[in-house]
Amino acid sequence: MSIVTVQLGQCGNQVGHEVFSCLCRDLCGTHGLCSSRENQSYQDACRERFFWEEESGGSVARAVLVDMEPKVISQTLSMAARSGFWKYSDHSHFCQKQGSGNNWANGYSVHGPRHKEAIMNLVQKEAERCDRLGGFFTLMSMAGGTGSGLGAFVTQCLRDAFPTSFILNHIVWPYGTGEVIVQNYNSVLTLSHLYRSSDALLVHENDVIHKICAQLMNIKQISFRDVNQVIAHQLGSVFQPTHPAGGDSDYSRNPLGDLMEVLVPHPEFKLLALRNIPQMPENSLAYSTFSWPGLLKHLRQMLIANAKMEEGIDWQVRPPPPGSSIPSHSTKKPLHFNTSIANLLILRGKDVHSTDLGSFQDPSLYTSWLNPQDAFHAWKTPRAFNKYEKSASLVSNSQFLLKPLDSVVGKAWNMFASKAYIHQYMKFGIEEEDFLDSFTTLEQVISSYTTL
Amino acid sequence: MTQSVVVQVGQCGNQVGCRFWDLALREHAAVNKKGIYDEALSSFFRNVDTRTGGDGPDIYKGKICSLKARALLIDMEEGVVNEILQGPLRDVFDSKQLITDVSGSGNNWAVGHKLYGYQYRENIVEKLRRTAEHCDCLQCFFIIHSMGGGTGSGLGTFVLNLLEDEFPEVYRFVTSVYPSGEDDVITSPYNSVLAMKELNEHADCVLPIENESLFDIVNKINQMISSGKLGSTVKQNSLVTSSAASAKTLQEKPFDAMNNIVANLLLNLTSSARFEGSLNMDLNEISMNLVPFPRLHYLVSSLTPLYTLADVNVPSRRLDQMFSDAFSRDHQLIRADPKHSLYLACALLVRGNVQVSDLRRNIERLKPSLHFVSWNQEGWKTGLCSVPPVGHSHSLLALANNTCVKPTFTELKDRFMKLYKKKAHLHHYLQIDGMEQSCFSEAVSSLSDLIEEYNELDATKGGPRTDPSRLKIAV
């Protein structure tokens, strides 16, 4: 099954380019530490999922690029073409001349309806090109105007046009200290709208990735390209072909569907986090060895203590002792214990089938209204990813985003109370009512996750 | 890609404008080595085929034939515009972009606004339309003028009004040179306050400039150079005050150095819209992020560095110094100290070899010493453009919406009231058709309201922060 990627705005397009580059590098650059038959099967599955082949034999990404101004798209197209291994189609992008001005209302209420037909035509073409459509993967940031506003509108259109397809939105959460002054407004509006039309929201926080770059990757002068490459690696570790839990020898044919099934049991809970270890500079890889027990232990503690990377994990945080049947919203659980609804572990590499995952099935990790057997799943693939001998990714639906979400909503509310910048949104048709609706939706989400 | 049109009005406006076109050509020549007419160039220039003689069709792609500025030059005297047309920039403008008259406005806002405005309205609209038609996607009008005189102030604000009526969707950025206390034009307070009302009501963003600040910056640079404190020589073309041609070959006119600073301001402001970068900042984003309430659209600007040394080894400390300087009092283009007043919003547009981590590090470092309004504690807008200005490896433009503009306005109001109470020179204005006493009272009232808005914000500074209570959800 194939996935159609929709890249929206500057961030969406920049990240998208890095994702396809990473996928291609993993495909072509390594043999994956497994048999060549296995490798061939992996490559075929990946190609079908993300690329189509043109007559001359080149790989073309299954992607639609959308932006309201031309500079980023033209840069993205030319960078991809220069790689020599893959490219974007010349006919799958849509851009205008003047951007959205960081104005969500401009993206959603003006650009959206105006360009709906043209954009959806491109999406339709890509969808028809797939033998079997596995769903949509959108890439956007929340802080700006196009990715956020137009992205929310396009997601709605996707939902209307493809009611039975899966939609996964990847969202870049902006740095806490401003990239854009109205980022909190744009974020609130985006999240509330996406919550209605999307199946799940996979979130990467710039602050977190920045720390990974600084502390784990040892990059001195971190650029957005560095940040995007880490994000791409993490996404690749999830979306590259995997064997479904049954231990079947075939790669999963329905990646997005499988993901939704195991991670989103209830429509009120759609926020997904991604943790991937190990993460290190490429030139250190050859000198490092990892053991599965070690990696899994770290990953479990990262989940519990809500740590986003392998350094600075708080080992003091523990789940409540077993045998004390505490309802999940009791106050006895330590306040910073991160409760999960569902977890998905994706393991790739050497000796993957010998791993013991019992620690992740501990009921104390999860909310009480799900059976741990239903809440936890693991997909194991012997084919190594992106030169990492062993790589473990944890996709989880948990309370991880509570604090950042609460912070963003709080700041947006504070600004809203003083009515600052509201006139800019009203100019394009978003009224105070719309803001209030969005705030209400998100307070509901915060409340739901808090009482887990 | 979008286009912008520059409307330069009056003597000051045209002199600054002239410097702008000079430096814009220099900047594009440095970046555009192959002589291809690209999107970056098209933001300010048309590419015209002049072989057919006169106004040939626009050439949208391919080699540069003849570049024409997207500009309108307006002056009610001929001297300045004629000089431009005889100087090295004569080929950049054509006669259809000029509107001139002979006798000037006599430093009288009413003459500029009411008399000449009425007289030249059709002409101006027609020429603006023509310029707009040559644009594929017109995003912004830049008006350059001074506040203290008659033409720039009066006719300039008339044009501002006109732009709002005729092109409501296009942004209006105004660069206004404010008169100093010792201005030799006695009626400059009248002209300025009358113009302020128009700026309050019809501009999207105003960048106020004060000659004193420009003068201080020029002096500072000259002192640094002549004192020999700088170990190695300064790169001539990196001076924020330098003109395109080498300073030695051309006799620089007295205000050129100061005007070059303003020209550089405009170039840096539009750099991210013209050139690529990892975090683009377009003009509509500037307006969106820096204007929280419609009338509070006055942005204090600062440019750093003022020069670079010829020494190529620029350590990272120098980079951080650039950020610190942007917030210091002596780099601001008006007499103001943003550090000790209240920030409503701040934008940092970085050019050149600077990455997001440098930006973040410096924001973290400087934040504690700055006061931001309670509802916008993280009020930073940032942009990264890959192409540095000529002669530099990196540069920074800081735009602040800060209550430190208030003293400039209160002083202006005080000088106005001094004259107005005695009704000095009032008759020169009132004898013009369309001018009444109410124009004056409305103007000063508009200014007072603006000052009051800043006062209210200042009152919140340093006070206890009580965040409004959040919505409660029934569980």
Closest CA to A350 of A394, A297, A291: A291
At residue A151, the pLDDT reads 96
- Distance between CA atoms of A240 and B413, rounded to whole angstroms? 67
- Closest-approach residue (CA) in chain A for B380: A178
- Distance between CA atoms of A197 and A204, rounded to whole angstroms? 20
CB < 8 Å to B363, chain A: 177-178
- Which fold is adopted by the domain B407-460? Helix Hairpins (1.10.287)
Range of lowest pLDDT (A286-290, A305-309, B87-91): A286-290
- Residue pair A229/A18 in contact (Cβ under 8 Å)? The answer is yes
DSSP secondary structure code for residue A93 in this structure: E
CB < 8 Å to B61, chain A: none
Does B375 contact A222 at a Cβ distance shorter than 8 Å? no
Which range in A287-296, B83-92, B151-160, B255-264 is most confidently predicted, on average pLDDT?
A: B151-160
- Distance between CA atoms of B237 and B20, rounded to whole angstroms? 15
- Distance between CA atoms of A148 and A125, rounded to whole angstroms? 23
Give yes or no for B294 touching A (CB within 8 A).
Answer: yes
* Partner residue opposite A103 with nearest CB, options B39, B288, B356: B288
Indicate which of B293, B343, B356 best probes the interface with A, i.e. most A CBs within 10 Å of its own CB: B356
Cβ-in-10-Å burial (0-12, 13-18, 19+) of B186 comes to exposed
Is the pLDDT at B246 greater than 70, yes or no? no
Closest CA to A150 of A114, A176, A123: A114
* Partner residue opposite B137 with nearest CB, options A98, A103, A439: A98
At residue A332, the pLDDT reads 47
* Partner residue opposite B375 with nearest CB, options A98, A145, A418: A418
Mean pLDDT rounded to a whole number for chain B: 87
- Chains A, B: CB contacts within 8 A come to 143
The arithmetic mean of pLDDT across residues A177-191, rounded, is 92
* Partner residue opposite B282 with nearest CB, options A75, A101, A417: A101
Concatenating the DSSP letter of every residue in A44-64 gives HHHHHHHEEE-TTS-EEE-EE
At residue B72, the pLDDT reads 94
> Residue B242's pLDDT band (boundaries 50, 70, 90)?
confident
> Residue B55's pLDDT band (boundaries 50, 70, 90)?
low
At residue B249, the pLDDT reads 39
Does B381 contact A97 at a Cβ distance shorter than 8 Å? no
Question: Tokens standing for A84?
Answer: 């020599």
Is the pLDDT at A174 greater than 80, yes or no? yes
At residue A358, the pLDDT reads 85
Question: Tokens standing for A69?
Answer: 């101004």
Is the pLDDT at B352 greater than 70, yes or no? yes
Give yes or no for B212 touching A (CB within 8 A).
Answer: no
Output B187-190 pairs: Cβ under 8 A, ≥24 positions apart. B187/B107, B187/B108, B187/B109, B187/B419, B187/B425, B187/B428, B188/B107, B188/B147, B188/B148, B188/B149, B188/B415, B189/B412, B189/B415, B189/B416, B189/B418, B189/B419, B190/B109, B190/B416, B190/B419, B190/B420, B190/B425, B190/B429, B190/B440
Give yes or no for B460 touching A (CB within 8 A).
Answer: no
At residue A30, the pLDDT reads 67
- Distance between CA atoms of A385 and A398, rounded to whole angstroms? 26
Does B467 contact A225 at a Cβ distance shorter than 8 Å? no
- Distance between CA atoms of A269 and A448, rounded to whole angstroms? 8
The SS3 call for residue A238 is helix
Indicate which of A72, A104, A148, A180 best probes the interface with B, i.e. most B CBs within 10 Å of its own CB: A180
Indicate which of B204, B272, B281, B289 best probes the interface with A, i.e. most A CBs within 10 Å of its own CB: B289
Is the pLDDT at A334 greater than 80, yes or no? no
Range of lowest pLDDT (A171-185, B46-60, B337-351): B46-60
Query: CA-CA distances (angstroms) from residue A308 to A211, A226, A263?
Result: 9, 17, 19
The DSSP bridge partners found for residue B205 are B173
CB < 8 Å to A219, chain B: 357
The SS3 call for residue B185 is coil
CB < 8 Å to A413, chain B: 467-468, 470-471
Q: What is the dihedral of CA B261, B265, B267, B269, to 10 degrees?
A: 170
Give B103 or A17, the one with higher predicted confidence. Answer: A17
Percent of chain A with pLDDT over 70: 95
CB < 8 Å to A145, chain B: 285, 288
- Residue pair B127/B99 in contact (Cβ under 8 Å)? The answer is yes
CB < 8 Å to A214, chain B: 357
Question: What CATH code would you report for A2-277?
Answer: 3.40.50.1440
Read off the pLDDT of residues B175-208 as tens digits, 9 standing for 90 and up. 999 998 777 889 999 999 999 999 999 999 999 9
Give A177 or B155, the one with higher predicted confidence. Answer: B155
Neighbouring residues of B372: CB distance < 8 A, sequence distance ≥ 6: B342, B343, B344, B346, B378, B379
- Closest-approach residue (CA) in chain A for B292: A421
CA distance A64 to chain B (A): 20
At residue A326, the pLDDT reads 47
* Partner residue opposite A413 with nearest CB, options B376, B468, B472: B468
CB < 8 Å to A410, chain B: 467, 470
- Residue pair B433/B468 in contact (Cβ under 8 Å)? The answer is no
At residue A285, the pLDDT reads 79
At residue B253, the pLDDT reads 63
Indicate which of A10, A79, A114, A181 best probes the interface with B, i.e. most B CBs within 10 Å of its own CB: A181
Neighbours of B464 (CB within 10 A): 6
ipTM for the whole complex: 0.87
Task: Reply yes or no: is the peptide bond before residue B407 cis, omega within 30 of 0.
Answer: no
CB < 8 Å to B292, chain A: 420-421
Range of lowest pLDDT (A131-145, A361-375, B118-132): A361-375
Does B382 contact A178 at a Cβ distance shorter than 8 Å? yes
The arithmetic mean of pLDDT across residues B429-453, rounded, is 93
Q: Residue length, chain A?
A: 452
The arithmetic mean of pLDDT across residues A229-236, rounded, is 95
Range of lowest pLDDT (A47-61, A69-83, B4-18, B223-237): B223-237
- Closest-approach residue (CA) in chain A for B280: A10
Give yes or no for B312 touching A (CB within 8 A).
Answer: no
- Residue pair B326/B368 in contact (Cβ under 8 Å)? The answer is no
At residue B94, the pLDDT reads 83
> Boundaries of CATH 3.40.50.1440 in chain A?
2-277
CA distance B97 to chain A (A): 25
The arithmetic mean of pLDDT across residues B19-37, rounded, is 88
The arithmetic mean of pLDDT across residues B98-126, rounded, is 92
CB < 8 Å to A227, chain B: 356
CA distance A439 to chain B (A): 8
Give A31 or B433, the one with higher predicted confidence. Answer: B433
CB < 8 Å to A100, chain B: 284
> Boundaries of CATH 3.30.1330 in chain A?
293-398
- Closest-approach residue (CA) in chain A for B386: A223
Neighbours of A114 (CB within 10 A): 12
- Closest-approach residue (CA) in chain A for B273: A71
Concatenating the DSSP letter of every residue in A253-268 gives S-HHHHHHHHH-SSTT
* Partner residue opposite A439 with nearest CB, options B345, B357, B471: B471
Query: CA-CA distances (angstroms) from residue B475 to A196, A361, A443, B65?
Result: 20, 29, 11, 70
Query: CA-CA distances (angstroms) from residue B280 to A325, B137, B139?
Result: 54, 18, 16
CA distance B259 to chain A (A): 29
Which of B:355-384 have CB within 8 Å of A?
355-358, 360, 363-364, 367, 374-382, 384
At residue B349, the pLDDT reads 95
Read off the pLDDT of residues B299-312 as tens digits, 9 standing for 90 and up. 999 998 887 655 54
CB < 8 Å to B471, chain A: 413, 439-440, 443
CA distance B182 to chain A (A): 37
Question: Tokens standing for A248?
Answer: 């079947």
For chain B, domain boundaries: 407-460
Neighbouring residues of A263: CB distance < 8 A, sequence distance ≥ 6: A200, A272, A342, A343, A344, A395, A396, A397
- Closest-approach residue (CA) in chain B for A14: B278
Question: What CATH code would you report for A293-398?
Answer: 3.30.1330
Does B282 contact A420 at a Cβ distance shorter than 8 Å? no
* Partner residue opposite B363 with nearest CB, options A98, A177, A447: A177
Is the pLDDT at B248 greater than 80, yes or no? no
Closest CA to A89 of A59, A116, A118: A59
At residue B251, the pLDDT reads 46
Does A222 contact B285 at a Cβ distance shorter than 8 Å? no
Cβ-in-10-Å burial (0-12, 13-18, 19+) of B428 comes to middle
Does B357 contact A221 at a Cβ distance shorter than 8 Å? yes
Positive or negative: CA dihedral A401, A402, A404, A406: positive
The two beta strands, B342-352 and B394-402, are: antiparallel
Read off the pLDDT of residues A236-294 as tens digits, 9 standing for 90 and up. 999 998 887 655 567 888 889 989 989 998 999 999 999 998 888 888 877 788 889 88
- Distance between CA atoms of B143 and B156, rounded to whole angstroms? 8
